[in-house]
Amino acid sequence: MTRLTLSVAVTALAVLTASCAPVDGAVAPGDSAAAGPERRCFSPEQVRNFRQGGPGQLYVRVIRNDVYELNSSGGCTDLDFAQRVAITADGAGLAGGRICTGDWARITVPGSSASLTTCRARVDRVLTADEVAALPSAHRP
């Protein structure tokens, strides 16, 4: 092995080992005292419908009938008139393209003033069935 190859292999091994190391305050898998909500994920191919909520807010319905709330960091114009959108993981390819609660995604909308408008949005949560039913019909995907 050359020195460069050896140093790359050692660095990769160190990173992998460190990623498995426990951290202070970490909760072991299966521990009933697990803090924080469960991360729920979907693939962009699973999106079946979407509707704009408030300004910069998007609700998407996926195959399993889950409804996710996405909130943009600004710049999501033309969402209110969009007939279609493309949702991709921010940094696509890192997790197989899956998008989970707490992740950032890119929303691409065919625009009226430009050919495409792209903005970033955070996947905030999955709505409960009661929350979906309580949405105004114009916002319910």
Q: In what order do the strands lie in the sheet with 104-110?
A: 47-52, 57-62, 67-72, 116-127, 104-110, 86-89
In a domain, 129, yes or no: yes
- Amino acid 34: pLDDT: 45
**Which pTM value belongs to this model?**
0.69
In a domain, 25, yes or no: no
In a domain, 28, yes or no: no
- Amino acid 126: pLDDT: 97
Q: Distance between CA atoms of 85 and 50, rounded to whole angstroms?
A: 8
- Amino acid 33: pLDDT: 43
- Amino acid 109: pLDDT: 87
- Amino acid 36: pLDDT: 54
Sort residue 33 into left (φ over 0), alpha (ψ -120 to 50) or beta: alpha
User: 116: domain range?
Assistant: 41-134
- Amino acid 74: pLDDT: 74
In a domain, 6, yes or no: no
In a domain, 82, yes or no: yes
Task: Compute the radius of gyration of the chain from its Cα atoms.
Answer: 19
In a domain, 1, yes or no: no
Domain total of the chain: 1
Q: Please state whether beta strands 67-72 and 86-89 pair in parallel, antiparallel, or not at all (unpaired).
A: unpaired
CA 130 to centroid of chain Cα atoms: 22
In a domain, 58, yes or no: yes
In a domain, 116, yes or no: yes
Over its length of 141 residues, how does the chain's per-residue pLDDT go in tens digits?
A: 454 444 444 444 444 444 444 444 444 444 444 445 688 999 999 999 999 988 889 999 999 899 999 998 777 877 777 888 999 998 755 556 899 999 999 999 886 666 788 889 999 999 999 999 999 999 999
- Amino acid 8: pLDDT: 41
- Amino acid 77: pLDDT: 73
Name, in order, each residue with C-beta under 8 angstroms of 98's C-beta and a sequence gap of 6 or more: 41, 42, 43, 89
